[in-house]
């Protein structure tokens, strides 16, 4: 919790995404039972997400960040997503704050309808994960080893 007394969730999203992931995350957070302050920072592309996330933490006192992006299917897009992911990991280590990476690759769905379904599911579930993490390190423990997945069906638990 930041010094203002209310948890603050930062949303870093991009203009390159083909869906308003940031708007969906905002609505999901506002509909949750936990009152939170939301600060949104929209940047041009996926490689801009690490610095946006760091600025949300350092300049806007966010407790946790959702970094939302939709990389394209081209090889260069996948490379950019990988570089952004590495930057996001660095931000987490430098700031000791969670930055939940919510990437939906444009080639994950067989068509636009499926891609929208994946995007909505992953974005909503990760917004709820952010709220859970604000509640403390044990909030997600009951799901440990359950094979939970965001965006598609759960992988399920391994049973012998």
Domain boundaries, the chain: 8-143
Band the pLDDT of 4: cuts 50, 70, 90: low
Neighbours of 65 (CB within 10 A): 31
Fold of 8-143: Rossmann fold (3.40.50)
DSSP state of 106: T
Unique residue bearing structure tokens 């992931």: 21
CA distance linking residue 88 with residue 82, whole number of Å: 10
- pLDDT tens digits, residue range 65-100? 999 999 999 999 999 999 999 999 999 999 999 999
CA distance linking residue 92 with residue 94, whole number of Å: 6
Instruction: Check residue 69 and give its pLDDT.
Output: 97
pTM of the shown model: 0.92
Note the residue count of the chain: 160
- pLDDT tens digits, residue range 97-123? 999 999 999 999 999 999 999 999 999
The pLDDT of 128-135, averaged and rounded, is: 94
Task: Dump strand ranges (E) for the chain.
Answer: 8-14, 37-43, 64-69, 99-103
Instruction: Check residue 3 and give its pLDDT.
Output: 47
- pLDDT tens digits, residue range 5-51? 679 999 999 999 999 999 999 999 999 888 899 999 999 999 999 99
């Amino acid at each position: 919790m930041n010094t203002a007394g209310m948890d603050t969730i930062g949303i870093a999203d991009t203009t390159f995404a083909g869906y308003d992931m940031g708007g969906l995350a905002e609505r999901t957070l506002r509909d949750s039972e936990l009152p939170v302050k939301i600060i949104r920072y929209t940047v041009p592309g996926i490689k801009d997400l690490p610095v946006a996330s760091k600025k949300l933490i350092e300049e806007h006192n966010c407790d946790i960040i959702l970094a939302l992006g939709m990389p394209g299917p081209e090889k260069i897009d996948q490379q950019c997503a990988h570089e952004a992911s590495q930057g996001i990991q660095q931000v987490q280590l430098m700031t000791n704050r969670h930055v939940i990476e919510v990437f939906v690759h444009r080639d994950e769905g067989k068509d636009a309808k499926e891609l929208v379904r994946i995007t909505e599911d992953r974005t909503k579930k990760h917004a709820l994960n952010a709220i859970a993490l604000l509640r403390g390190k044990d909030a997600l423990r009951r799901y440990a080893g359950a094979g939970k997945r965001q965006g598609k069906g759960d992988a399920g638990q391994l049973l012998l």
